[in-house]
Structure 1
Amino acid sequence: MDRDQENIQAIIRSLELDSLKQSNEHVPQEEVKRHLNVVFIGHVDAGKSTTSGQILFLGGQVDDRTIQKYEKEAKDRSCENWYMAYIMDTNEEERAKGKTVEVGRAQFETESTRFTILDAPGHKDYVPEMISGASQADIGDLVISARKGEFETGFEKGGQTREHVQLAKTLGVAKLFVVVNKMDDPTVKWSKERYDEIVAKMIPFLRSSGYNINRDVQFLPLSGLAGTNMKTRVDKSTCPWWNSRCLFEALDSVEVPLRNPNGPVRMPIIDKSKDMGTVIMGKIECGTIREGDKLLVMPNNAHVNVIAIYCDENKVRHSGPGENVRIRLTGIEVEDILSGFVLSSVVNPVASMTEFNAQLQIIGLPDKALFSAGYKSKLHIHSVVDDCEIVALERIDPRTHLPIRGQAHFAKNGDVVRCRIQVSNMICVERFSDFPQLGRFTLRDSGKTIAVGKVTGLQI
């Protein structure tokens, strides 16, 4: 990075801190930290929940007595190595099955950064839940098992490593840490050859998925179960060939994405509850929300008042983009809110519709299927999941970006198309060029991702 770029980044960081300070005036200046959302993704059994749990333990969020309780519980289930995962996998189904089935959420801090951890499920049956987690993230930790056979199972056709990477990129996870886990396994024993083999196989795929390897991706080896190379660098006696950062240092090095605290409010709602009124939960994508604000819940055009805002369990007066918050509202009942609704500015409300124009890339159609007008699938866009149908399409030449004339109006794997999409219910979307997090989406069919796309036009 040259001197001019360094100066620009320093100015951006200063402006972001100033904005955060102004929006939380009651917080002492020395306590204001930048905030990042990190999602843990990867194939089932790669060690995502264990690694997440270890981060919380090393970050001081879990005490020794709790760890001892989890160790005993795991041992009683004859699953001694699962105890760290119990920190994130809190419900009985997850502990009984030994796999994450919903997005776990927790917070930890380093000296300079507050992190929200999103622990996404790895099993193919829970990809919609993984999409929900990744759609809220700024950066991703792709956890890969170094154990012989496990990496291959996750990376080969049918494994979730590839789909998770493609989904993460589509959902706006711009920076990716590729965490090569279980390096202490007896089949690996911190082998540089095994680590290099995994990196060499991952790089071409990551590049083909749209990641710039030098700018967007960092690889590092660790043991999530033992906590090695996580908060402190791995000892040379354990891994003499590793000369770079540990996980906490790598996370701290990430630049905060550009955010707009002064834009129109956009907060997709991911959950709701009744707690002395109506409470909604979500990540603020744009704008700043303040106590006393009058806003809209869309698409039902409900006028609401903001009574209270909670960030990391703390009551705050203001909160800005990038923050995961709970907001207590008046003017609407819990039963009148669905996941996928959006809290929005009154003056500049989010768009609501049942049809929109889009550009798609077809990546994984079912065998012998053709993509054409009439094709039906599931649409995933921010926190919305809805049935959809392609009502018109034209193929695009990827070199000229112009329609291909004189050919049948259908597409196959690898094709790029422009199309019009119709959904079953009124949903909130925006042009990708205006609000990327509300304008990028995936289509899924038969349990797999078939296309990734962006909204290019609104049918208002």
Structure 2
Amino acid sequence: MTSHRRVKDIAYDADDLDYDEDESAPYDQYTEEDKQNFAELTPVVQAHLVEAQVKASVDQIQEALYHYYWDVAKSVDYLKKQNTPKTQPAQKQTKPKSKFDEAADKVQIKNGKFDLSALVPGPHMPLKDVPMEKWMSMVDWNNIPPHLVTTFTPERQQRPIKLMGGSSKLAKLAEERRRKAESLKAGVQDRTNEASVSTTVTSLDRLSLNKAEKRPSDTPETQRRYPSKKKKEPTPPPAEEPEPEVEPVEPLPDIRAEPSAFGRILSSKTKLAAKGQLSVQDVFAASKPTQATPKPAAQPVKPKAQLANAKQLWGKARTTQRPFASFVVAGHVDHGKSTLMGRLLLDTGAVQQRDIDKFKKQAAEIGKESFALAWVMDTGSEERERGVTVDIAQHNFSTAKADFTIIDAPGHRDFIPNMLSGASMADIVVLVVDANQLDSGIKGQTREHIQLAYGVGIRKVVVAVNKLDASNPAWDQQLFSDVKDQIARLLRQVGFVEKNIRYVPCSGLNGENVAKPAPKDSPAAEVGGGTPSLVAALETFTHDDAASYAKAGGTPTQQEKAVTTRSLRMQVADVYRGGIQNPLSVSGRIAHGDVVEGQAITILPSGDQAVVKGIERAGEGTEWAVALQIVSLHLDGDLETLNRNLRAGDLISSTSQPPKLIKTITAKVQVLDTILPQAVELHYGRLHITASVKRLVETIDSKGAQLKKSPRSLKAGQVARIDIALGNGAPLEPEDRIILRSDGDTIALGIIESVIA
């Protein structure tokens, strides 16, 4: 049996065949959202194409939009390229044969080796390009059959058809020109024939001609037959104007006095003292310096206010200054931190509605319209495309009672160092919790953010229970109570005190209970038993030095302690370069001391010095600033060196009392994960350095008493003292709070007890 018979005899099972009964039915691959996007964006693309005079069908437009993920600009560019007619390339012209090629062809013809195919008309050589003398060059004229003999008769050319009714004026003019050209051609031909007859001589006669006879200029036939160009007359020189007559000048009397003897000495080329005419001492005979004297260093700008008076200026101003505070926004990723802060800035008037409308339009183009409020804080292109906060952002706003600075921190675990930088500049932490995703938040970054905020020294918390409007049912009292209980338990475990905690039910997207309390008849007002709004909760935690200062015999406030205990200490949070008025500026929070305009400062670890030529606080210029205030300092000095060495994490200090670079520290730590003598990442605000745990000194109890000396390892929940080596050193001091991390996890919170340089 042949192979094709075997194939034909195969019995196919019906189940093996993939057959869809509805295969012929049209398949709609677009969702309702896609169709809505088509309805909105197709007219936009059509308008662009009409403006560019490009035609495209609706199917082509929709296919381009779907392919480019609703990107109008890319779709329009694609359709322009596809539907614009392409210009035909110009055909290559046949290159004429050179004189060398023609000579080579003649040689081949003589030798009988010429390629007859070159004479055959075809695509490579049209008939009109074949010379007539080559048509019969290879034909054997002997023994030609009679039926091949013929006579060539030239084809009679027909005269061009003219217009009926006689020639037009243009035709008559053309006919006259043709006749004139023919008569002129005939005259030239006659003269040429006469010249050829008269100049026909033998070779011997030509040799006997003298030079005068050979000159072509002597024969009238060879003279030029075109009129000679008329030479132009040279331009005559311009007529010289007569010089004006010089008026006679009357001589003036010389009223100059004779120079004095000392003046003659100074002005004369030869020193009179050298000639002995004057018995004077040459005081100008000092030897010339052999080397240029170096220029003195630039003196620092004179301060407008003396450093000793900075505390006095603050002491006078604190009695009238408004309460202020800075807070960091923490919480798990996608719990609505940036959206809540955008709503807060909008409702307090720090951001205008037209800015939000612009953000909505831009966000709708990439399918993220609900992120418009978050774009107030997330200004980077990467943050807006991904919908995730990456770096910290600062904004200022004011209420009727206080001034605030927002520090929006990222919630993703990959950006914990940035969250630490923001928390180190804050007085309060606003913990944003999604009421509908509490479990994922606690298992995610919510717990770690609470620990980090406590580790950098924050002791005041406002818990914003967000997205209660999206719960089922909306604004559920039981859901709010459950979230409150779980977060309170977590805060107490870390170390926060109940009196320093506020709970606020709110909706960042709609703005309920954010800047203003919810209306009394709304469901939001019933949740929480009349809890204050987010702004009202923040106002209870401000630095109100005016009220504290008015109390006679009151204890020193937190700000007063920070101002008076140490000299200037400020960590650089950001560096700004390239300004026209201020080429180099830094921002950060003053941890201790004060600063005034014109003050000389030292920057560590580089040791460079600079001068503060300007100070800004909350976007306004000021002559001085004190501890716990977030400011921008405009620097002056050796800008080239400063630009090369200055970076975020550096420490700005007073020149008189700068800190030392420390190589080893002893710290008291709260252990969060297992610690061995190992390499760690040490974080102090913006400062992130590689360090190593050299020795586990001891474990201690809550009162500081020793429990175990030199343990081999430390476990989560223990409190211990450890020695940490800092490599090249860092500008750290006792009482500075540090965070230890390893492999992306926080393993300890600590405070420095002693240092070794």
- Name the TM-score, length of structure 2 as normaliser: 0.54
Q: Pairwise mapping of residues 234-253 of structure 1 onto structure 2 (< 5 A)? A: 234-236=518-520, 237-239=522-524, 240-241=526-527, 242-253=529-540
Amino acid at match of 1:358: A
Which stretch of structure 1 is more off in the superposition, 66-75 or 448-457? 66-75
Cα displacement (A) at 1:234: 1.3
Matching residue within 590, 596, 601 for 1:295: 601
Residue of structure 2 equivalent to 1:321 = 627
- Separation in 1, partners of 2:615, 2:515: 32
Residue of structure 2 equivalent to 1:258 = 558
Structure 2 residue 422 is the aligned partner of structure 1 residue 133: yes
Which stretch of structure 1 is more off in the superposition, 233-242 or 445-454? 233-242
Matching residue within 206, 224, 234 for 2:508: 224
Residue of structure 2 equivalent to 1:16 = none
Q: What SS is found at the alignment partner of 1:411?
A: coil
- Separation in 2, partners of 1:399, 1:153: 32
- Separation in 1, partners of 2:541, 2:422: 19
- Separation in 2, partners of 1:21, 1:143: 40
Q: What SS is found at the alignment partner of 2:746?
A: strand
Residue of structure 2 equivalent to 1:372 = 676
Q: Taking structure 1 as reference, are residues 348 and 205 closer, same or farther at Cα in structure 2, changes over 3 Å only?
A: same
Cα displacement (A) at 1:408: 4.1
Residue of structure 2 equivalent to 1:106 = 395
Amino acid at match of 2:663: T
- Separation in 2, partners of 1:321, 1:378: 28
Amino acid at match of 2:438: F
Q: In percent, how many aligned pairs have the same letter? A: 29
Residue of structure 2 equivalent to 1:448 = 745
Contact preservation (8 Å) 1:24, 1:319: no
Q: What SS is found at the alignment partner of 1:285?
A: strand
Which stretch of structure 1 is more off in the superposition, 70-79 or 216-225? 70-79
Amino acid at match of 2:534: L
Q: Taking structure 1 as reference, are residues 279 and 76 closer, same or farther at Cα in structure 2, changes over 3 Å only?
A: same
Structure 2 residue 424 is the aligned partner of structure 1 residue 424: no
Q: What SS is found at the alignment partner of 1:61?
A: coil
Q: What SS is found at the alignment partner of 1:394?
A: strand
Residue of structure 2 equivalent to 1:51 = 340
Residue of structure 1 equivalent to 2:585 = 279
Cα displacement (A) at 1:310: 1.4
- Separation in 2, partners of 1:132, 1:405: 34
Greater helix content = 2
Q: What SS is found at the alignment partner of 1:305?
A: strand
Amino acid at match of 2:558: L
Q: What SS is found at the alignment partner of 1:154?
A: helix
Q: What SS is found at the alignment partner of 2:457?
A: coil
- Separation in 1, partners of 2:403, 2:703: 44
Residue of structure 2 equivalent to 1:457 = 754
Matching residue within 605, 612, 615 for 1:309: 615
Cα displacement (A) at 1:186: 4.1
- Name the TM-score, length of structure 1 as normaliser: 0.87
Contact preservation (8 Å) 1:395, 1:410: no
CA root-mean-square deviation: 2.2
Q: What SS is found at the alignment partner of 1:228?
A: coil
Q: Which has the higher contact order (CA 8 A, sep 6+)?
A: 1
Residue of structure 1 equivalent to 2:692 = 389
- Separation in 2, partners of 1:230, 1:243: 13
Q: Taking structure 1 as reference, are residues 59 and 400 closer, same or farther at Cα in structure 2, changes over 3 Å only?
A: closer
- Separation in 2, partners of 1:128, 1:80: 29
Q: What SS is found at the alignment partner of 2:469?
A: coil
Structure 2 residue 313 is the aligned partner of structure 1 residue 22: yes
Q: Pairwise mapping of residues 200-219 of structure 1 onto structure 2 (< 5 A)? A: 200-213=485-498, 215-219=499-503
- Separation in 1, partners of 2:392, 2:590: 18
Residue of structure 2 equivalent to 1:174 = 459
Which stretch of structure 1 is more off in the superposition, 99-108 or 303-312? 303-312
Which stretch of structure 1 is more off in the superposition, 71-80 or 60-69? 71-80
Cα displacement (A) at 1:394: 2.3
Contact preservation (8 Å) 2:324, 2:542: no
Q: What SS is found at the alignment partner of 2:403?
A: strand
Q: Taking structure 1 as reference, are residues 20 and 152 closer, same or farther at Cα in structure 2, changes over 3 Å only?
A: farther
Greater strand content = 1
Q: Taking structure 1 as reference, are residues 64 and 431 closer, same or farther at Cα in structure 2, changes over 3 Å only?
A: same
Q: What SS is found at the alignment partner of 2:697?
A: strand
Q: Taking structure 1 as reference, are residues 400 and 315 closer, same or farther at Cα in structure 2, changes over 3 Å only?
A: closer
Residue of structure 1 equivalent to 2:245 = none
Moved over 6 A (4+): 27-30
- Separation in 1, partners of 2:710, 2:733: 31
Amino acid at match of 1:96: E
Q: Taking structure 1 as reference, are residues 405 and 296 closer, same or farther at Cα in structure 2, changes over 3 Å only?
A: same
Q: List alignment gaps of at least 5 residues for structure 2.
A: 1-309, 544-556
Whichever of the two has the greater Rg, that structure is 2
- Separation in 2, partners of 1:404, 1:261: 37
Residue of structure 2 equivalent to 1:3 = none
Residue of structure 2 equivalent to 1:116 = 405
Contact preservation (8 Å) 1:273, 1:334: no
Cα distance per residue 1:264-313 (max 9 Å; x no partner): 11101112122333311111111111001122112232232111111122
Q: List alignment gaps of at least 5 residues for structure 1.
A: 1-18, 366-370, 433-438
Contact preservation (8 Å) 1:24, 1:317: no
- Separation in 2, partners of 1:106, 1:86: 13
Cα displacement (A) at 1:455: 0.3
Contact preservation (8 Å) 1:50, 1:224: yes
Contact preservation (8 Å) 1:359, 1:416: yes
The alignment of Structure 1 onto Structure 2 pairs a total of residues equal to: 423
